[in-house]
Amino acid sequence: MSSYQPPVRHDRPIQRGGGVAIFVKSSLAFTPVVVDSPLVVAAVRLHLPSGDLTVCTVYLPPSLAPDYVADSLSLLLESLPSPLLLTMDANAHHPLWGSPHSDTRGAVLADLFSNSDLILLNTGEPTYLSSAGTFSHLDLSLCSPALASSFAWSPHHDPLNSDHFPILLESCLSKNCSPAPPRWRLRDADWALFNKSLVLSEDFVTSNQACALTTAALTAAAQASIPVSASLPHRRISFWWTKECSVARRNKNKALSRYRCHLGDIALWILYKRARALFRSVVRQAKADSWHEFLSRFRSGTSSDVWKRVSALRSSPRSRQIALADNDLYISDPLMVA
């Protein structure tokens, strides 16, 4: 089971590729944002402890005229609630985000961004590696001025089998937004102390307030009388990953780093392409071997064994956090209910 909720996505119905999607971690409360735009766009409204945040992603195919892009993007920005984090595959070149030259679309977008209430987060590093071995600056990240100091922008060193480098936006906006629920060791509970510590309040006005006070009382009594298991941060595990995968990935990254230091060196570019192809082959083989080995275990055993093996495929537990809506106010902590 994935640790992410179903994505908010916009697929291109006719052309291949170029769609957009936003995956939100299951511990974050969010609502989709309905966008009326001819562009390929997806948007969500995250409900964070620090406040609401709109996250929007856009794909601008090369076929769109520059003026059409500017007009459509301007209307889109006016319709999105603030504060805003905007990411896009712009397919545009301009020195403002690190390109050595400017094209018509890049000039139009640079002018639009300069006149809008958005801050460009790009640092000038390339975000795209073509099949010919040239680097480009095609992916842009922008945000509202109040958020600019909250993000650290950088492209990942490994393109991860893509021609675009993943863009990392590190931020502390969602820290501690959904702490993991405690795992009570009920077998070791001191129930006499629990009953003695439990004090239920009868002084409340609304049912919501009664629920919040009862939850707080139960939690306080449990903390005084029931031990809690040590909570370790969850780490996703790929059961199919092998030492050969690690070696092939390391060799691929080394080849890419050497080519970065000697751009245009055809020999080094060929070595990188070979290392990348070998890495993909090793990964495919590791996945196939792992899957065949997993299926072979079903030839014998009880039904409980079968379900245990199926459950092992689940990479992480689902969060228990929920968000309640009350007159456009989203509440994810029951103690915040008045």
Res 337: pLDDT: 40
pLDDT bin (cut points 50, 70, 90) of residue 324 is low
Cβ partners under 8 Å of residue 183, min gap 6: 228, 229, 231
Res 27: pLDDT: 79
Res 333: pLDDT: 47
If you average pLDDT over residues 86-92, what whole number do you get?
96
310 pLDDT more than 90 = no
Which position has the higher pLDDT, 100 or 204? Answer: 100
Q: What is the per-residue pLDDT across 250-305, written as a single tens digit (0 to 9) for each? A: 999 999 999 988 888 999 999 999 999 999 999 999 999 988 887 777 665 566 66
Written as one letter, the residue type at 40 is: V
Q: What percent of the chain has pLDDT over 70?
A: 80
pLDDT bin (cut points 50, 70, 90) of residue 1 is very low
pLDDT bin (cut points 50, 70, 90) of residue 168 is very high
Res 216: pLDDT: 87
Give the number of C-alpha atoms closer than 13 A to the C-alpha of residue 6, restricted to the C-beta side: 3
Strands 329-331 and 324-326: antiparallel
Which position has the higher pLDDT, 119 or 322? Answer: 119
Res 94: pLDDT: 96
Q: What is the per-residue pLDDT across 22-53, written as a single tens digit (0 to 9) for each? A: 999 887 889 999 999 999 999 999 988 888 99
Written as one letter, the residue type at 210 is: A
Res 121: pLDDT: 94
Burial of 50 (0-12, 13-18, 19+ CB in 10 A): middle
Residues 122 and 128: beta-carbon distance below 8 Å: no
Q: What is the per-residue pLDDT across 186-241, written as a single tens digit (0 to 9) for each? A: 999 999 999 999 988 877 767 777 787 888 889 999 999 999 887 555 555 577 89
pLDDT bin (cut points 50, 70, 90) of residue 334 is very low
Give the number of C-alpha atoms closer than 13 A to the C-alpha of residue 23, restricted to the C-beta side: 4
pLDDT bin (cut points 50, 70, 90) of residue 139 is very high
- ∠ CA 56-2-24, nearest 5°, is 15
Burial of 145 (0-12, 13-18, 19+ CB in 10 A): exposed
Q: What is the per-residue pLDDT across 54-81, written as a single tens digit (0 to 9) for each? A: 999 999 999 999 999 999 999 999 999 9
- ∠ CA 37-41-114, nearest 5°, is 80
Region of poorest pLDDT, from 143-147, 157-161, 227-231: 227-231
Rounded distance between C-alpha atoms, residue 276 and residue 249, angstroms: 8
Burial state string for 271-293 with b = 16 or more CB within 10 A and e = fewer than 16: bbeebbeebeebbeebbeeeeee
Q: What number of other Cβ atoms are within 10 A of residue 236's Cβ?
A: 8
If you average pLDDT over residues 151-177, what whole number do you get?
83
Rounded distance between C-alpha atoms, residue 303 and residue 309, angstroms: 10
Rounded distance between C-alpha atoms, residue 166 and residue 89, angstroms: 11
Which of 129, 156, 125, 135 minimizes the C-alpha distance to 249? 156
Res 243: pLDDT: 92
85 pLDDT more than 90 = yes
Alpha helix segments (H runs only) across the chain: 66-79, 104-114, 191-197, 207-225, 243-261, 266-296, 303-311
Res 49: pLDDT: 80
